[in-house]
Structure 1
């Protein structure tokens, strides 16, 4: 392989990695995430193949681990990583005005070990005993979480503990404030119009949407596999997705230099043999 071909390949790779996807606006409008809803199951599919997603639209009273039907359904989560920003959109049947069991916070776990090092506050209401720390959009490096009502599917035990409960944190209880993200939580829109039918089941839909500057995360964690998780304060239903971070530029550059060195070695080897 010629040296200039390797340099051209490496340059193209780095440029491709930095090429942004279509701009995502934090406005509660799902036109950045899905095609025009038609009232069909396929409505939930993401627009881009770069979007990580989980879709769990349900229409039964039992949601797993708890109950509540559409009012507590965690329906879909979408995650896009672009140009140093982590975009998240969550669709749920739970509205922002529910005071009995309010929305939980977005939890991020690096290393796939249920440690959930970071939380992004969705509502924050310390005056509510079921609310969490902080104000909407605040990012915390978490030292302690609040949890929901379930120690296992269909096992109601508010004061109990279990590995299952620990895997589904609800709201930030304590932590260090690291920054603030753009955040909206509102009725779901499409092209500025309220969505009347999304998916094959009837019911109201709400969007939690945020954009997080990844510089708030500990650099030693960035590059590991990570999960993005959400549930409500009661944890009657939960949803998560595990996207893979962008490879650091330094890693790709190092790989390219290694390939360039290998090519030079091969060239010298061929010259020596001739």
Structure 2
């Protein structure tokens, strides 16, 4: 699998950090990634977003018989880029925005060897416990697409793999979709139609765009800043490919400061992280 990590952009980000805005420009949640600064122009640089946006990119190459991580599936089950920022609107309300590009068709049914789309999972504290899910599809009569749901790990379905490359659905800990939990609010969610010419490898892609009012996070977020470190991940129901973006430590108040923090740490933590 070919991995294009943040490390390739680290020095540029660090040099620009003092001039980046505290937060990215407010997004229009319409399934169009142009306002994120992303471009389907057939180049590697097309993955890179505008300033003030945190991101992870992992454009697979169909190498190793379609192995992704932790499972197989090739382009059809590839989670390729995850973007994150937050901003405060004129009404004084702060929102967390997510953007996802994937080769997985969101209309894929679950059955046989096919697996549908998963939900966004948010882990405050980065301790492996997922406090919130953002639903990308209806999961029950009361948990519907766009709902933000308070969860424990017991509320989540899990994938096919107990470790990278180890098929063991009975013992998987890779969370995929919300089965149960407490509805705490609503996000705006739009999933685009398919598009091509993304990166150098081609194929069909889809873009998920999400905007979450941070008030739903309760004490995990105060004002326009998180009160603790957190990460966001997404995968499909088989968990063949998991993508994660890790925002800044809780002591830093704006996304643009990530480059400064990582630059001081020798860029050691900039590369993409997957759960193992």
- Structure 2 Cα separation of the partners of residues 225 and 31 of structure 1: 28
- Structure 2 Cα separation of the partners of residues 125 and 141 of structure 1: 14
Partner of 2:50: 47
Partner of 1:157: 168
3-state SS of paired residue (2:192)? strand
Partner of 1:218: 218
Is the counterpart of residue 97 in structure 1 residue 87 in structure 2?
Answer: no
Q: CA deviation at 1:223?
A: 1.2
156 and 53 in structure 1: CA distance in 2 versus 1, 3 angstrom threshold? same
3-state SS of paired residue (1:43)? helix
**TM-score for both structures, normalised by structure 1:** 0.73
Runs of 4+ in 1 over 6 A off after TM superposition: 16-19
Partner of 1:169: 175
196 and 81 in structure 1: CA distance in 2 versus 1, 3 angstrom threshold? same
Partner of 1:67: 72
Q: CA deviation at 1:23?
A: 2.4
Partner of 1:118: 132
- Structure 1 Cα separation of the partners of residues 37 and 235 of structure 2: 22
3-state SS of paired residue (1:218)? helix
Partner of 2:274: none
CA RMSD of aligned residues (A): 2.4
Q: CA deviation at 1:124?
A: 2.5
Greater gyration radius: 1
- Structure 2 Cα separation of the partners of residues 220 and 154 of structure 1: 34
Post-superposition CA distance 1:121-160 (Å, at most 9, x none): 0112449xxxxx7211100001321110000111001111
Partner of 1:136: 145
Would the aligned equivalents of 1:118 and 1:140 in 2 still touch at CA under 8 Å?
yes
Alignment partner of 2:231 out of 227, 232, 238: 227
Is the counterpart of residue 148 in structure 1 residue 154 in structure 2?
Answer: no
220 and 41 in structure 1: CA distance in 2 versus 1, 3 angstrom threshold? closer
Q: Which runs of 5+ in 1 are unaligned?
A: 1-15, 128-132, 189-194, 250-274
172 and 208 in structure 1: CA distance in 2 versus 1, 3 angstrom threshold? same
Alignment partner of 1:37 out of 29, 40, 55: 40
Q: CA deviation at 1:17?
A: 11
Q: Which runs of 5+ in 2 are unaligned?
A: 1-18, 89-93, 255-276
3-state SS of paired residue (1:219)? helix
- Structure 1 Cα separation of the partners of residues 235 and 38 of structure 2: 25
Post-superposition CA distance 1:12-43 (Å, at most 9, x none): xxxx9997632211111110113433201111
- Structure 2 Cα separation of the partners of residues 175 and 37 of structure 1: 37
Would the aligned equivalents of 1:223 and 1:247 in 2 still touch at CA under 8 Å?
no
Alignment partner of 1:238 out of 237, 242, 253: 242
- Structure 1 Cα separation of the partners of residues 201 and 251 of structure 2: 35
Is the counterpart of residue 187 in structure 1 residue 197 in structure 2?
Answer: no
Aligned length: 217
**TM-score for both structures, normalised by structure 2:** 0.73
